[in-house]
Amino acid sequence: MMLHIPQVLSAEQVAECRALLLSADWQDGKSTAGFQSAMAKDNLQLSEESETARYIGDMITQALAQHPLFVAAALPAKVFPPLFNCYQGGQSFGVHVDNSIRFNSATNEPIRTDLSATLFFCEPDEYEGGELVVEDNYGAHSVKLPAGDLILYPSTSLHQVMPVTQGARISSFFWIQSMVRDDGQRTLLFDLDSSIQQVNQQLGTGSETSIQLTGVYHNLLRRWAL
């Protein structure tokens, strides 16, 4: 499942983050890439030890924990501390797949990458190119979202960032280990949860239909959660 999650950060938060990121100390993004990815990767990145990265990363993770759409879709067990990149002057990231396991540099804790996420800090008309292109069974999907919005997609997907030919594309990227490893099962749970919310709006949370569907949801989650 690929999902656009709007307004993870408010306009005020985006403005604060952009001011910090524009004055940050960027480094060659290849330093954090795996062997295969390094051959395709051409961008700038903040160090994981950067105070700016940690401050904004904490802001993002706190916002995600309070965002009902993200929680319903990702069913997060662990969130990798957000990283930050910048593309400009023709920089791009060729077709690749994300590593299956990432290690938190602060704790050395392994995180299985079930879901990948990109949160945008620049408006689409501020730069040319830079689309995130994600491939799935239905073809290639091009993504370029408003500042503060996030795209969530399976980490098993082939994806790339197209060359930025004008301006700069600044974003955060990170991974999520879900309580439900299988993407198909997560999608079914998300669809069921969405249907329950619609039933609650139409019939009320105490309706017999709502209670039955909620029971089905939790019994499936209990069966599939790791």
Same domain, 107 and 204: no
User: Residue-wise pLDDT tens for the chain (226 aa)?
Assistant: 999 999 999 999 999 999 999 999 999 987 666 556 667 899 999 999 999 999 999 999 999 999 999 999 999 999 999 999 999 999 999 999 999 999 999 899 999 999 999 999 999 999 999 999 999 988 999 999 999 999 999 999 999 999 999 999 999 999 999 999 999 999 999 999 999 999 999 998 889 999 999 999 999 999 999 8
pLDDT of residue 17: 98
Domain boundary among 142, 161, 178: 178
* Residue 101 belongs to domain with CATH number: 2.60.120.620
Same domain, 169 and 60: yes
Same domain, 31 and 128: yes
pLDDT of residue 137: 87
* Residue 192 belongs to domain with CATH number: 4.10.860.20
Q: What single string gives the DSSP state of each residue in the chain? A: --EEE--SS-HHHHHHHHHHHHTS-EEEGGGG--HHHHHHEE-EEE-TT-HHHHHHHHHHHHHHHT-HHHHHHH-EEEEPPPEEEEEETT-EEEEE---SEEE-TTT--EEE-SEEEEEE-S-GGGSEE--EEEEETTEEEEE---TT-EEEEETTS-EEE--EEESEEEEEEEEEEESS--HHHHHHHHHHHHHHHHHHHHH-TTSHHHHHHHHHHHHHHHHH--
Give the position of tokens 């990121």: 21
Same domain, 188 and 127: no
Residue 188 domain boundaries = 183-224
Phi, psi of 184 (to 5 degrees): -65, -40
The CA distance from 140 to 131, in Å, is 11
Which tokens sit at 194?
């969405």
Same domain, 117 and 80: yes
Note whether 176 and 76 are within 8 A (CB). Answer: yes
Domain boundary among 146, 163, 178: 178
Which tokens sit at 59?
């802001």
Same domain, 193 and 104: no
pLDDT of residue 32: 61
pTM for the structure as a whole? 0.94
Same domain, 95 and 122: yes
Same domain, 32 and 75: yes
Same domain, 57 and 121: yes
Same domain, 59 and 155: yes
Same domain, 19 and 124: yes
State how many domains the chain has: 2
pLDDT of residue 113: 98
Same domain, 97 and 191: no
The CA distance from 155 to 183, in Å, is 10
